[in-house]
Amino acid sequence: MQIPFFISEDFLHYVWKHKLFNLQNLTTEDGQLLQILNEGMHNHESGPDFSNAKIQIGNLTWAGNVEVHINSSDWFAHNHQNDPVYQKAILHVVWNNNKQVFDNLNNPIPTLVLNGRVSSSLLAKYDKLILNRNEIMCSDSIPSVNKFEFFSWLNRLLIERLEVKTSALQEIYSSTKGNWEQTFFIVFCKNFGFKTNQEGMMALSRNLDFKILLKNKDDLFKLESLLFGVAGFLGQEFKEEYPINLQKEYRHQKHKYNLEEIPVEFWKFGRIRPSGFPTIRLSQLANLIHIQGNLFDAYVRNIPASLDVIQSVEVSTYWNTHFTFLNPGQVKKKSLGKSAVQNLLINTVAPMMFFYGQETGSLEFRDKALDLLEKLPAENNFIIRNWAQNNIFADNAFESQSLIQLTNNYCTLKKCLNCGIGNQVLKHEVG
């Protein structure tokens, strides 16, 4: 029997789970009347596909597992006949019945064949969906999707995205033994390194207790000596007065706080604009701590009073004429830049607020995180541009973050059957 190539087990799971097949006069392959009382719980781990299902065959009611395959012979291909876990199967749901399946007592397992019971419109829609070469496979059908359902799905995706981010934050929080200031410092530094220097910034922030920086927050020179020193930048010979003084100061701080440098090799200068060099970022970080002190209070606990400060943060005088310690240059203003600030707010501040709200049980902070994303402009990257080409425009970061989650975790993985929009598209046809 020729099976359409687009028939997959996932599709059959979907059809069974949502009962998207003709339920009239259902019979098993041996001709007994079949009624589905409960399709069971979809199991995404190993083991039977649906558990705790309930069916009636003839006059008898059965409770147990349902296994789904394209061909019934897949039962043997998957070696279920030797696995006791599958002995509780009450029904084998297949597209094509090409081999009878037995339980361990040699009793035939009742079989339901779906081929011929699924409407041609659903098959055509699914076929079209997965054949579409556009990365957004449902692009042709999006206009038919109910807007309310579409936006509720985006809401769910945003929460999903924030929850993924918070699990990474949870690890850092545990590693700091529940220290919010240090946790935020690590996360903030990581994102302050942007793409290229995340690793170096992480290593630096893990090697430097934020309390030490806070103690020295009123003295920008000391802050720079601490940051550049632990970053490993002060281990070379200098000719200029400023780095020589930083070096001296760092020797003193190193002894006082028992500090240890990270290898300078962590830092990358290639393929980034000079204004994004790690040396410039470290000076901006020192300035930010100098102005704001406790970053966790300023950006998470007491938001939004101080969001403007980060936009205007600059570098110390020396760095106005330098990009590295060894190359003096022309005077140039080196503020963070609007898109870098937005990136930090979207990827660091909002997830941290959400996580803080989750950990402390304060819904207020979870809502503040969502509000912040709603107020920030949408990101402008190839994912968002691709959606725009398909007439879906993100109005703010809330929506762009949802679309990023959708693209990376559903569209690219072709998980249309698990997607709220895919469900709408398919059910729309069936209904």
**Contact set with ligand SF4 (CB under 6 A):** 136-138, 406, 410-411, 415-416, 419, 421-422, 425
By beta-carbon proximity to ligand SF4, the closer residue of 310 and 403 is 403
Number of alpha helices (DSSP H) and beta strands (DSSP E) in the chain: 19, 6
Strand partners, 153: none
Compute the distance between CA of residue 224 and CA of residue 213 in angstroms, rounded to an integer.
Answer: 10
Q: How far is the CB of 270 from ligand SF4 (least distance, A)?
A: 36
Inter-residue long-range contacts of 113-117, CB under 8 Å, 24+ positions, other chains counted: 113/29, 114/12, 114/15, 114/16, 114/21, 117/21, 117/22
Compute the distance between CA of residue 285 and CA of residue 290 in angstroms, rounded to an integer.
Answer: 8
By beta-carbon proximity to ligand SF4, the closer residue of 129 and 288 is 129
Q: How far is the CB of 422 from ligand SF4 (least distance, A)?
A: 3
Kindly state the helix (H) or strand (E) to which residue 60 belongs, with its residue range: strand 60-71
Strand blocks (E) in 170-298: none
By beta-carbon proximity to ligand SF4, the closer residue of 343 and 402 is 402
Compute the distance between CA of residue 134 and CA of residue 130 in angstroms, rounded to an integer.
Answer: 10
Are 278 and 267 within 8 A, CB to CB?
Answer: yes
Q: How far is the CB of 161 from ligand SF4 (least distance, A)?
A: 15
Q: How far is the CB of 408 from ligand SF4 (least distance, A)?
A: 10
By beta-carbon proximity to ligand SF4, the closer residue of 292 and 390 is 390
Are 20 and 122 within 8 A, CB to CB?
Answer: yes
Tokens standing for residue 384: 């968002």
Strand partners, 322: 328
By beta-carbon proximity to ligand SF4, the closer residue of 202 and 419 is 419
Using alpha carbons, select from 91, 101, 102, 6 the residue that is nearest to residue 49: 91
Q: How far is the CB of 129 from ligand SF4 (least distance, A)?
A: 7
Q: In sequence order, which residues have a C-beta less than 8 Å from that of residue 91 and are 6 or more positions away? A: 28, 34, 53, 55, 62, 66, 67, 109, 110, 111, 112
Kindly state the helix (H) or strand (E) to which residue 16 belongs, with its residue range: helix 9-17
By beta-carbon proximity to ligand SF4, the closer residue of 35 and 408 is 408
Compute the distance between CA of residue 14 and CA of residue 88 in angstroms, rounded to an integer.
Answer: 22
Q: How far is the CB of 14 from ligand SF4 (least distance, A)?
A: 12
Tokens standing for residue 142: 């999006």
Strand partners, 328: 322
**Token pair 């043997």: residue:** 76
Q: How far is the CB of 150 from ligand SF4 (least distance, A)?
A: 9
Q: How far is the CB of 15 from ligand SF4 (least distance, A)?
A: 16
Tokens standing for residue 386: 């691709």
3-state secondary structure of 108: strand
Compute the distance between CA of residue 72 and CA of residue 92 in angstroms, rounded to an integer.
Answer: 8
By beta-carbon proximity to ligand SF4, the closer residue of 62 and 150 is 150
Q: How far is the CB of 119 from ligand SF4 (least distance, A)?
A: 19
Q: How far is the CB of 410 from ligand SF4 (least distance, A)?
A: 4
By beta-carbon proximity to ligand SF4, the closer residue of 134 and 312 is 134
By beta-carbon proximity to ligand SF4, the closer residue of 139 and 279 is 139
Count of CB atoms within 10 A of residue 307's CB? 16
Q: How far is the CB of 128 from ligand SF4 (least distance, A)?
A: 11
By beta-carbon proximity to ligand SF4, the closer residue of 13 and 92 is 13
By beta-carbon proximity to ligand SF4, the closer residue of 211 and 415 is 415
Compute the distance between CA of residue 123 and CA of residue 429 in angstroms, rounded to an integer.
Answer: 10
